[in-house]
Amino acid sequence: MPRRLPTPPLALLLGLATALGGPSGAGAADNAQYGGVRHPGEAPPRVAPATEGDSGGDAEVEAVDSLMAVYREARSADPKLRGRRAELAALRDDRREALGGLLPSLSASVDISRINRDQLRATTSYLDDELQEDNITREYTQEQYQLNATQPLLDLPAWHRWQGQDRRVDAGEAELEARRQQLIYDVAEAYLNVLGAQSKVALKGSELDQVQAQRERIEALYEEGEATTSERAEVRARYDQVRAELLRAQGEVATAREALTALTDEPHERLAGLRPDAELPKVEPQARQRWSERAVTGNPNVVAARARTESEQRKARAARAERYPRINLTGGFSRYDDFDGTRFGRNIEDWSIGVQVRMPLYEGGAMRARASSAEHRRARQAQELERARRQARKEVRSAYEGLMSGRSEIEAYRLAVRSAERTIEAMRQEVRAGTRTVTDLLEAQRKRFEAGHGLAQARHQYLLDILALRRAAGHLDERDVRALDELFSAGASGGVLAQEP
């Protein structure tokens, strides 16, 4: 297979990365937690330690599934990966079969028969030259033994077929690698989808709590005659709407978990979330051309298509070479024995060695048709190779542009969350002063939670674009899963993804 251009692993990118949220300090402290914002000076949330009375507290921590653990389960259970391994084993067997056409072959045969023969034989007398007939009856055992050996000296079709099968093995290995890399991406995508759905549930739950608090406040004011009927109805409608959205988000969590279970064949109730202090890696803006070059040479789908093209080229050469002579070195031993003690019995042993030359002269146009068919298949596979190259470049461009825009998107959502929080604080004072209604405050809270969820989704997509870029270049492996897994913590939850370090 072609050598891949060297590329730094994801762990190195993570080590050299800086936080997308900018410098740490008071600005970085105003980060979204479950859709909200921590005020400057407020300590980040911590997982409460288990006490002696907490039964099963440690068990809960142990039950959290890391990304690496989920990937290893998927790697063992993925039917497509198993199928690729079986196909690769079959291709290696086919290659060994093709190699057999170039190696010596040895065959043996034994034929033992019991024969009862009535034979009418014409003879001439030595005295009078008259023709006489003799009726002879024989009953005897006939034995035939043969041992033949053949060594090809010149067989161009067999040589090209073996080379073609060798290229097919290379294609099978590349296809297996492509499935491994695709499985890494699929697991990470399903894993982050679960965390994103959990984040949405946490955000909607927090929003529902705040709407419920406003609802209770409006109900109390309504009883005292200080709130209007329309305000009361609007708060109730908003509560019902958020409650319905929460139920829908809970259904999305179940769906996302089922998608993850389909990859591992195991349920996953708790997953490790992104650490609050996790730094997202950065990609140099001018590195796009280098990634494209790596994709054209190292993408496993391109490598597989190139190997299949070379295999079809070998098949075309084998078809054209059928018109040339085939030369074999042959040798053998044979023994024929039907000796029964009469003058008709024989006992013959033959040893032979020689050179055999075979050359087809005319087969009704079949050879030419086979050569033309093989050439058309080679041309079709060459187009598949070009399509794979274009697809690899497209995947690099898509992932790279996603990373470039993703950084700005994450920063914009982070600022939107902080701005929405400041808007809510100001609007609360205006509600108390009577210049704003409760409906305005609820709308501002809704925008804050939407910005928090958008931030979580943007960070999800940013991580997936990193994996997609490395997959397109053909450099996605288990080390990247391990490096990505270090960004997650068993004490965190999906909601923490809305927090920018």
Neighbours of 140 (CB within 10 A): 18
Give me the helices (H) in 42-155, please.
57-62, 67-77, 79-99
Angstrom distance (rounded) from CA 333 to CA 330: 11
Neighbours of 226 (CB within 10 A): 10
Top CATH class of 10-38+61-100+160-320+392-498 equals mainly alpha
- In DSSP terms, 351 is beta-bridged to 333
The predicted structure's pLDDT at residue 228: 82
Comparing C-alpha atoms, which of 156, 161, 170 is closest to residue 92? 170
Q: What angle do CA 349, 355, 361 make, to 5 degrees?
A: 125
Structure-block tokens of residue 217: 């406040």
Write the CA distances from 258 to 187, 189, 196, 311, 438, integer angstroms. Answer: 12, 13, 14, 40, 39
Comparing C-alpha atoms, which of 217, 123, 252 is closest to residue 442? 217
DSSP assignment letter at 271: B
What is the β-pairing status of strands 273-274 and 105-124? unpaired
Write the CA distances from 24 to 29, 45, 420, integer angstroms. Answer: 7, 17, 21
Q: How many residues are listed for the chain in this entry?
A: 501
Q: Is 106 helix (H, G, I), strand (E, B) or coil?
A: strand
| Rg of the chain (C-alpha set) | 40
The predicted structure's pLDDT at residue 81: 95
Comparing C-alpha atoms, which of 176, 191, 174 is closest to residue 78? 176
Residues 6+ apart with CB under 8 A from 54: none
φ, ψ (nearest 5 deg) of residue 123: -130, 165
Comparing C-alpha atoms, which of 293, 315, 300 is closest to residue 1? 300
Structure-block tokens of residue 228: 């209007």
| Helix pair 288-298, 438-473: axis angle to 10 deg | 50
Residue 320 · residue 367 · CB < 8 Å:
no
Write the CA distances from 260 to 122, 456, 464, 496, 500, integer angstroms. Answer: 91, 19, 15, 20, 26
Structure-block tokens of residue 181: 């890399």
- The pLDDT profile of the chain, 501 residues, written as one tens digit per residue, is 444 444 444 443 343 333 323 333 333 333 333 333 333 333 333 333 333 333 344 444 456 888 999 999 999 999 999 999 999 999 999 999 999 999 999 999 999 998 887 777 666 655 556 666 667 777 888 889 999 999 999 999 999 999 999 999 999 999 999 999 999 999 999 999 999 999 899 888 988 998 898 888 888 888 888 778 888 888 889 899 999 999 999 999 999 999 999 999 999 888 988 776 778 887 777 788 889 999 999 999 999 999 999 999 999 999 999 999 999 999 999 999 887 777 777 888 999 999 999 999 988 899 999 999 999 999 999 999 999 999 999 999 999 999 989 988 988 998 999 998 898 888 888 888 878 877 788 888 888 888 988 988 898 899 999 999 999 999 999 999 998 888 887 544 433 322 222
- Cα dihedral sign for 18, 21, 23, 29? negative
Angstrom distance (rounded) from CA 91 to CA 109: 32
The predicted structure's pLDDT at residue 498: 28
Comparing C-alpha atoms, which of 21, 181, 173 is closest to residue 88? 173
Residue 277 · residue 486 · CB < 8 Å:
no
Write the CA distances from 490 to 270, 336, 404, 411, integer angstroms. Answer: 9, 82, 29, 26
Q: Which helix (H) or strand (E) holds 355?
A: strand 347-358
Q: Is 49 helix (H, G, I), strand (E, B) or coil?
A: coil
Write the CA distances from 305 to 83, 84, 295, 382, integer angstroms. Answer: 19, 16, 13, 8
Write the CA distances from 92 to 87, 166, 390, integer angstroms. Answer: 9, 8, 29
Angstrom distance (rounded) from CA 263 to CA 183: 9
Angstrom distance (rounded) from CA 361 to CA 64: 73
Write the CA distances from 369 to 156, 306, 365, 474, integer angstroms. Answer: 18, 25, 6, 39
Comparing C-alpha atoms, which of 160, 141, 61 is closest to residue 102? 160
Residues 6+ apart with CB under 8 A from 355: 153, 327, 328, 329, 330
Q: What is the largest CA-CA distance in the chain?
A: 156
